[in-house]
Structure 1
Amino acid sequence: MIKKINIQDARFPLAKGAGSDAIHRDPIYSYAVTNLLDDSGLVGTGFAFTLGEGNDLVCKAAQFYAEQLKGRDIEELMSDFGNVFNQLSNEQQFRWLGPHKGIVHLALASVTNACYDLWAKKRGLPLWKLLTDLSPQEIVNTLDLSYLEDELTVAQALQLLTDNEPGKESRKQITAQGYPGYDTSIGWFNYSDDKVRENCKKAIAEGFTAMKLKVGSTDPQRDIRRSHIVREVAGDNVKVMLDANQQWTLPQALKICKELQGMNPYWIEEPTHPDDVLAHKTLADAIAPTKLALGEHVPNRIIFKNYLQTGSAGFMQVDAVRVGGVSEFITVSLLCRKYGIPVVPHVGDMGQLHQHLVLFNHITMGHEALFLEHIPHLQKHFVNPVIIEGGVYKTPMEPGSSSDLKPLS
């Protein structure tokens, strides 16, 4: 059973220019880390991602949630985790601070992810293997489907999982092949044009067939110039994504996105405010067939539901360290599967946890194995860092969710 809680405020300054985008110019990649210590000697590690300031507030909220799990057996906890998640996320006083968003929801993600990590370690399995071995009923037992009943009831979730069981065995072949990655670090916002060009060449040499550039400059011509640099270096067969990190108003987005279509972007990401579902719908219709990608800052399953209902996005980037953790990630993945929309997570975890979740999405739900974002900046801080060879994530085999951090200095 869980006998002790340890919460850590982990912050990692980055190299000059790394991690920068149009809104977040000087980030400090940070984790609010939850450690759940089991009486068997195992430690479940989970975290939520922030950019520095306020990370301590998420830690304080995580402490509040985690304390409520003391004395609970992890197998008993996970057998009915959907109800546990519902109770924690609707705690009467903390709920007022969200609901289901912001500091309290990030904290719940940290604690939830620690539960899944401990569960996998208790069974001696990598998380992807634990999840893919679960029956449809066992998966649904871990989910909170409240506020989704108009789109996804418990019965419908069970049916969707059951319907995708044919082909599951053949889809497991991906664990031998590895999951494709894409390089998101070629074009951070503060990088010079020359560095973007150099990084593109390096990414192609390393085997990546997709890459992403940060846009959202005060001068749109800078974005256009840089996007054409990437297209020129990468060639027509490489997928190039553009990411504005919410910088534009809708009128700005309508204008600049039409100009950026000239370099044939695979998607345009977070073009405007992440809460503005209708603005994204307007933009998506205006620039079709170019597709929008969003989800990095979408905090919960209800807003994802609205985006799916309006047909606003061609790709969903749900992040298990932004929504309420693995449980809500799976819930959103189920919704996306119903709508036939690919899930391509944002990786606030640097891909450590999500390498497990995309395997589960593909093997169990039949999601397309498109690719997973790769950000290398924190690899040295993990006990079992992701391994990318030839632009492909190698399947992790250690028990747990690959979330253990080396001792903080």
Structure 2
Amino acid sequence: MHIKSITIKDKRFDLSDGAGSDATHTTPQYAYAVCCLHTDTAVTGVGLAFTLGAGNDLVCRAIEYLAAPLAGREIEELMSDFGAVYRKMVDSPSFRWLGPHKGVVHLALAAVVNACYDLWAKSRQVPLWQLLLDLTPGQLVATLDLSYMEDVLTREQAVDILEEHRPTRQSREQVLATGYKGYDTSVGWFNFSDEKIVSGTKKAMDGGFTALKLKVGSDDPSRDIRRARLIRETAGSEATIMVDANQKWNVPEALDICRKLGEINPFWIEEPTHPDDVIGHQTIARSIAPLKVATGEHIPNKVIFKNFFQAKALDFCQVDAVRVGGISEFLTISLLSRKMGIPVVPHVGDMGQIHQHLVLFNHIGMGHEHLFLEHIPHLKQYFVHPAEVSGAYYQVPQEPGSSSDLKE
């Protein structure tokens, strides 16, 4: 199956009634820069990168540059040593200057890489999670670029992690029968009224959700405290509640407000300060313990994740395959997280479409703990094969590919 041509789509979706809002991104428009790899068959590989609308056209233009060398490549041959292909794309001298490994170009890389994995799974007529489990450890690691990781994760160590967990896979394959547990983010958007948070919380819990997330980061911290108490009182003491500041606070503010939010016993406090501030996160994590810090939604690449892990600056890794360099870099970061004992709970800029596959592989193939996966339903109607959540569990996708196809 050869890649014959490449097209790019700029897809944008307006949200309503405060959905998607947080303390930093108050009027979001969800958008995808889409890479489509057309082949000499009826099969097309589709890859997504997530933005908030403005600038999506820049990511689309960068996809054109990065994807052009893939024309003519045969998919099995391409993926047999994809780690080398990935590194050649990510380290292309002129494009690297624009990053390196971050920003518009790296978002474009995510779309290109995700399209390659989607096409590979479709060519084998299996869902992405199954493709990844079918690969030998050596074959999977061959799709990764482990450069700059050598001080903490060598190629041999990556293979060893996967080999170590192969004999015990069966004990974790029960997840294929139950589905993967979800948590609900859509109950607590920043612009929602108190009444809407209460009604949304009740509806989510009636649907089986026991884990919920609230957006915080108000100019008046007392609003955050009031709303946090409200969701805790509505959900009850046994519910798992996370709060997410979306980078709003400086470090002193974070230290003060996190301690106050501690009264509702949050499972984690997410993105408490600027996403590049490793030492700031380290300071917060040390100071508010045993409260835990989650971050990664805006961490752009494996090197910065490595620094966060080394500094013990986070407790939960929220890597997102439509922000870092696609599935390949997601798997690299997941392996590093596994080696360093950090749970992976992805952010789902793709609305959980690709990540429902990746968490299944992380759990079965790497032995990552089955915690839960974020659930955001706002774009469900636009996907050909939308993620299906029943009783608060993601149902295991069966269609070939990564579930990334969008309706025309």
Bin for the TM-score computed over the shorter chain:
over 0.9
Aligned to 1:28: 29
Which stretches in structure 2 are left out of the alignment for 5+ residues? none
Q: Say yes or no: does 1:254 pair with 2:258.
A: no
How far apart are the structure 1 equivalents of 2:287 and 2:380? 39
Aligned to 2:45: 44
- Shift of residue 237, structure 1, vs aligned partner: 1.1
Aligned to 2:356: 355
Aligned to 1:311: 312
Give runs of aligned pairs for residues 368-383 of structure 1, distance below 5 A. Answer: 368-383=369-384
Aligned to 2:385: 384
Which amino acid counterpart does residue 188 of structure 1 have in structure 2?
W
Which stretches in structure 1 are left out of the alignment for 5+ residues? none
Task: Describe the superposition over 1:337-395 as per-residue Cα deviations: whole angstroms up to 9, x where unpaired.
Answer: 00111100000000000000000000100000100000000000000001100000000
Give runs of aligned pairs for residues 3-402 of structure 1, distance below 5 A. Answer: 3-402=4-403
- Shift of residue 163, structure 1, vs aligned partner: 1.2
- Tell me whether 159-168 or 173-182 shows the greater mean CA deviation: 159-168
How far apart are the structure 1 equivalents of 2:301 and 2:170? 31
Taking only aligned residues, the RMSD between alpha carbons, in angstroms, comes to 0.5
With the length of structure 2 as denominator, give the TM-score of the two structures.
0.99
Give the 3-state SS of the residue equivalent to 2:6 in structure 1.
strand
Task: Describe the superposition over 1:304-340 as per-residue Cα deviations: whole angstroms up to 9, x where unpaired.
Answer: 0001111111100000000000000000000000011
Task: Describe the superposition over 1:136-163 as per-residue Cα deviations: whole angstroms up to 9, x where unpaired.
Answer: 1001100000000000011111111111
Give the 3-state SS of the residue equivalent to 2:300 in structure 1.
coil
Give the 3-state SS of the residue equivalent to 1:368 in structure 2.
coil
Give the 3-state SS of the residue equivalent to 1:182 in structure 2.
strand
Which amino acid counterpart does residue 119 of structure 2 have in structure 1?
L
How far apart are the structure 2 equivalents of 1:162 and 1:387? 31
Task: Describe the superposition over 1:233-288 as per-residue Cα deviations: whole angstroms up to 9, x where unpaired.
Answer: 11111110000000000010010001100110000000000000000000001000
TM superposition outliers: structure 1 runs of 4+ over 4 Å: none
How far apart are the structure 2 equivalents of 1:8 and 1:197? 38
How far apart are the structure 1 equivalents of 2:174 and 2:250? 44
How far apart are the structure 2 equivalents of 1:224 and 1:26? 23
Which amino acid counterpart does residue 16 of structure 2 have in structure 1?
A
- Shift of residue 170, structure 1, vs aligned partner: 2.2
Which amino acid counterpart does residue 53 of structure 2 have in structure 1?
G
Which amino acid counterpart does residue 100 of structure 1 have in structure 2?
H
- Shift of residue 16, structure 1, vs aligned partner: 1.9
How far apart are the structure 2 equivalents of 1:164 and 1:317? 22
How far apart are the structure 1 equivalents of 2:399 and 2:62? 29
How far apart are the structure 1 equivalents of 2:396 and 2:389? 9
With the length of structure 1 as denominator, give the TM-score of the two structures.
0.99
How far apart are the structure 1 equivalents of 2:315 and 2:275? 15
Alignment coverage as a number of residue pairs: 407
Task: Describe the superposition over 1:55-109 as per-residue Cα deviations: whole angstroms up to 9, x where unpaired.
Answer: 0000000111111100000111111010000000000000001000000000000
